[in-house]
Structure 1
Amino acid sequence: GREITSMPAAGRRVGLVFQEYALFPHLTVAQNIEYGLQVQKMSSLQRKNRLRDLLSLFELEALARREINQLSGGERQRTAIARALAPNPLVLLMDEPFSALDYNLRQRLQKDLLKIQKSLGFTAIFVTHQQEEALSLSDRLAVMQKGSISQIGSPEEIYERPSNFFVAEFLGDANLIPCSLDHSDNQSHLQIGSTDFWGLPELKNYPSGKYSLMFRPEDMELDKLDGYWTLPVKIIGLEYLGFSYRIEAIFGQYKIKALINKSVIPPKIGMEINLAVNPQIIRFLPE
């Protein structure tokens, strides 16, 4: 990298897409996209060719002469991204660019952005409070807490192996249950509330101490399975999601959330069932 703080803004080769787009209302779609090219003092022919390519890339050809107030939210967003990319920046900064859009349009534009980013090869820094958006769009993901980075890594690494309680709770839904681990008498003893687990070789690499046991709702299975830890629970909440059931249950004094495949026997509130979780995917977060 290189220091660009003292450079003129026009020479930094950094594009910016604002949360509210910040398009020029007195200019057409084409004029908005062409604005940065004029600042760069490109020749008329170069501007024409670059504008044509961007209108085609963002499927805006038919809207080139439209006023900004005649555009839909998705059309404005595509225009804003095209304008930011027109000067061929090395880095594109995006400040929650899809936050004002409905779910279906947001999903489509996320796919379009990924395709365009891979095609053009620019680096994008994307700020979002939507966990699903962060996971699906990023190659590397940073979770920030109070102005500092709590963890940085691939989306899979951060979701599956959060470094602390904050990251686990912030990124997706998580079960976080206090527990204590002891390795005395040459065997591992895990205590979760009043429930004890003994002889757990998979825990030998964790030092004795107090932890938060972390696993995701989708990690849970119904009933006992070989090699799994079994938690006896009572169902206190139930939602049918179409593809699955979302269960809220009581395990001792703790609440547990689980996503259960709808192909199983439909659960009911008040039922006492066994939920099983693979110990290989459980994380122990130090308190």
Structure 2
Amino acid sequence: MYVLMKGCGILVGLSLVFTVSTVFIPSTIQTKAYADEGLDLYNAGDYQRALAYWQPLAERGDPQAEFGLGLLYEAGQGVAQNFDTAQRWYRKAAEQGLSDAQNALGAMYDVGRGFAKDDVQATEWYRNAAEQGNVRAEVNLSNMYRFGRGVPRDINLAIAWLQKASDAGNPAAQSNLGGIYISEDGVKDYSKAAILFQKSADQGDPGGQNGLGIMCFLGLNRPIDLACAANWYRKAAGQGDPSAEVNLGSAYYNGSGIEKDISLAIFWYRKAAEQGNVRAQEYLQYIAEHRPILKG
């Protein structure tokens, strides 16, 4: 998170928020293994047929099919959502060494889904997958080191794992690494951050787009350009990124690089608040108290 407040005693001010991306479950499965037809059906959104294909394979111990069933049960795709069943299938595949399943099992420990939240277990499973070169797990393991969750905080190890995933072209890794380079004392490097955010944004990643907006707004490695900032926030917010929604809402609230519009500020704050963004919720509360005509 990267936050800048303006004004004395004013909650809703000039706000910049940067979210750290976490990579849990892919929208499409990248791994190619024995159950290829199941992968094709899953990626095509034909979950019932994927279930029918994977079920007998999973029951015979095929790890890719076990992982596929975990995905279906965790998301409730083609079956009733059931976290307990999801984690059991993930574990079967993870214990056979399938890195996607190890990352998914780590994520369930990370967020406390299917069993109690456990940062140590999450880190262990992320590490198992990351050491096999799973870029999603590399991003997630980096976050554990960055914030000292399940392991002692170590920004250098966080950077090292993100660099591996970034070099593989992962846009979440690129935006996260850019975020480190604009916010972490001792390793700040705005030139590196700009390159990483641009690489991420070029792949359509909202984290990279929001990061470029922050750099335009603050004038990091470039002249201050508020219109540029608002433009990047809009692109990222349009993809549902809650941090960008907050930043775009603040741009509208303050008329920063964009025409002042309190109604649109409320609109974007609400979208972020509905995703659980605490800062957006605070801003809405402030507006409700100080601009009661706009409540509702």
TM-score range, shorter chain: 0.3 to 0.5
TM-score, normalised via structure 1 length: 0.34
Q: Which has the higher helix share?
A: 2
TM-score, normalised via structure 2 length: 0.33
Q: Which has the higher strand share?
A: 1
